[in-house]
Chains A and B, each alone.
Chain A
């Protein structure tokens, strides 16, 4: 089960269908920039094929997955490659306000219910630590401000977690292009050291949106995750029965 964590992160990339935040005071412009960048990802539905390459120490594993997503809590991920895992999948649903996660193993022909905690678990080890960024409203968790050093084009924005925010980082520094595409995120620990960096390469035009084609996440341990979007559609209607256990079991 390589990296279900990362898959969950990817689900959430498309998952942020959230109302814009009330904007306040001096931070108006910085917050606006972040919100605009977030808007790039926002949509009712999301469908993508992604190649994920995870390097841990000497080992590199590659997966090709197809993911469907609707709203905040409905996702289906199907593994296409490698061959031995092809057909396996994950389904995330919200029932009675509780997130439920299932894993389907096509060899066992069985659906296993996974604890919802796996979701959170994901965003630490899995590399793509976007959960904290994409979930909820930014101002719920962060103080947003421009950094002192601004690039000639685009923006550098600093997100400092509020004291009660469930965020392990000391701060996040986002580089956002003029076209409001997040190009780089530096994750600082609480000692002013960068422990993780995510950066993007290439751009995909999806309708009117600009979405990075490649996400690279490098951790200071040397671990590396590369996610490359092969296909991506946002706000296209999805098959009605896609988020069901039946569908999970029919690759």
Chain B
């Protein structure tokens, strides 16, 4: 085996230009895939990040009734809420934050906007979501009578930090209204949160909604990839009345966007692999034809035809691996650069913001697409070298030696 490797390696450098050309083809194809995928992965990760870390936690628990009919009165009663919180407490490393969500209207002297009122317990909520990190101005709510607004909402209402807004809600016991001082303005990078959510204390949200308890419980987990397992355990414990939703289940739209985009990336990868594959096949085929005599001599000296074919395949694989390695180094640097600097999305930012993609997209490195690319590159090289290798294997030594 090592003998063959050494032979293939030496052969490669006997025709330096041709080998470099072959590596170049693989290099370019791989680089395009790695960079494109890095950018796509950045988009996926920021979508998941925004949803899980800023908006809703890893798991969302709500009563089955509420999921059917999202009205505050359909939420968890205080007793049910206690049961849910107890259940989450038994999950190691998990934190739970009850929320009371209701629809209402936020008014400033300059206008009014329909918004979602999100009541949270500030101390508990901070253990689940890191909206605090996305504060543009001011601070997190601490006491009653304080509210946080998204940057877009604050702009739409022309509200500044320290000013007062009035929240109206159609509660279970009639219309209620209450004044809040805006103590924080955040930019979560997500349309729903930035444009149409006002965050207040859960006690006040309950009063506005005219309901006790909570409409949902958001749960953070130490490792996001445990979500399905923990969700299953919680479902078992809490029974049919409680829905336990993972990120994918709570955001079917985002999950399908990611899935479709991955499929697209795979398609792009395959198309590029085919193009690069033809380039490699072409180059290898020429190198085989050129060496007809040489191969003839090797065969007559007793080299088995299978081994000869393997040498040709190994050459192609080696060249491709070198091309890929170069692409990996360059791609890594490029992706890191794009992760650091980010790609400003310009006028598209409003469009993507609704999915939780920030206005500057940061590329991300993820082992799995590198691995996938590597496998595709090797497979392509083997396939591309197949025909030339077969030709080499089928050479008749006597005729080959005579060939000009």
A189 on the B face (CB < 8 A): yes
Closest beta carbon of chain B to A163's beta carbon, Å? 7
Decide if B175 touches A168 in the complex (CB within 8 Å).
Answer: no
Chain B residue nearest to A194 in the complex (CB): B109
Number of A-B contacts (CB under 8 A): 65
In Å, the complex CA distance between A163 and B173 comes to 24
Decide if B175 touches A119 in the complex (CB within 8 Å).
Answer: yes
Number of interface residues of A (CB under 8 A): 27
Chain B residue nearest to A125 in the complex (CB): B112
Chain A residue nearest to B210 in the complex (CB): A98
B375 on the A face (CB < 8 A): no
- A99's contact among B163, B166, B175, by CB below 8 Å, is which? B175
Q: What residues of chain A lie closer than 8 Å to B178, measured between beta carbons?
A: 164, 166
Decide if B109 touches A195 in the complex (CB within 8 Å).
Answer: yes
B108 on the A face (CB < 8 A): yes
Decide if B108 touches A168 in the complex (CB within 8 Å).
Answer: yes
- A117's contact among B105, B109, B110, B163, by CB below 8 Å, is which? B105
A190 on the B face (CB < 8 A): yes
In Å, the complex CA distance between A99 and B104 comes to 16
B50 on the A face (CB < 8 A): no
The 8 A CB mask of B104-120 against A (1 = contact, 0 = none) is: 11011111100000000
Chain A residue nearest to B177 in the complex (CB): A166
Number of interface residues of B (CB under 8 A): 23
A116 on the B face (CB < 8 A): yes
Q: What residues of chain B lie closer than 8 Å to A232, measured between beta carbons?
A: none
- A167's contact among B112, B163, B166, B175, by CB below 8 Å, is which? B166
B316 on the A face (CB < 8 A): no
Decide if A189 touches B174 in the complex (CB within 8 Å).
Answer: no
Decide if B175 touches A124 in the complex (CB within 8 Å).
Answer: no
Given A120-B105, A189-B110, are A98 and B173 neighbors across the interface (CB < 8 Å)?
Answer: yes
Decide if A121 touches B170 in the complex (CB within 8 Å).
Answer: no
Chain A residue nearest to B168 in the complex (CB): A120
A25 on the B face (CB < 8 A): no
Interface on chain B toward A: helix, strand, loop, or mixed SS? strand
- A163's contact among B105, B165, B179, by CB below 8 Å, is which? B179
Q: What residues of chain B lie closer than 8 Å to A189, measured between beta carbons?
A: 109-110
Decide if A124 touches B112 in the complex (CB within 8 Å).
Answer: yes
A169 on the B face (CB < 8 A): yes
Decide if B179 touches A121 in the complex (CB within 8 Å).
Answer: no
The 8 A CB mask of B168-185 against A (1 = contact, 0 = none) is: 111001110111000000
B164 on the A face (CB < 8 A): yes
A170 on the B face (CB < 8 A): yes
Q: What residues of chain A lie closer than 8 Å to B110, measured between beta carbons?
A: 189, 195
In Å, the complex CA distance between A74 and B175 comes to 16
Q: A residues 87-110 with Cβ under 8 Å of B? A: 97-99
Given A124-B107, A124-B111, A195-B109, are A190 and B179 neighbors across the interface (CB < 8 Å)?
Answer: no
Chain B residue nearest to A196 in the complex (CB): B109
Decide if B170 touches A117 in the complex (CB within 8 Å).
Answer: yes
Closest beta carbon of chain B to A190's beta carbon, Å? 5
In Å, the complex CA distance between A44 and B166 comes to 30
Decide if B177 touches A168 in the complex (CB within 8 Å).
Answer: no
Decide if A164 touches B109 in the complex (CB within 8 Å).
Answer: no
A187 on the B face (CB < 8 A): yes
B145 on the A face (CB < 8 A): yes
Closest beta carbon of chain B to A103's beta carbon, Å? 16
Given A164-B145, A166-B166, are A190 and B175 neighbors across the interface (CB < 8 Å)?
Answer: no
In Å, the complex CA distance between A187 and B111 comes to 13
A115 on the B face (CB < 8 A): yes
A23 on the B face (CB < 8 A): no
Given A163-B145, A195-B109, are A168 and B168 neighbors across the interface (CB < 8 Å)?
Answer: no
Q: What residues of chain A lie closer than 8 Å to B104, measured between beta carbons?
A: 117
Q: Which residues of A contact B (CB under 8 A)?
A: 97-99, 115-117, 119-121, 124-125, 161, 163-170, 187-191, 195-196
Q: Which residues of B contact A (CB under 8 A)?
A: 104-105, 107-112, 145, 160, 163-166, 168-170, 173-175, 177-179
Question: Could you list 6 A-B pairs, sorted by A, with CB under 8 Å?
Answer: A124-B107, A124-B111, A124-B112, A161-B164, A169-B109, A170-B109
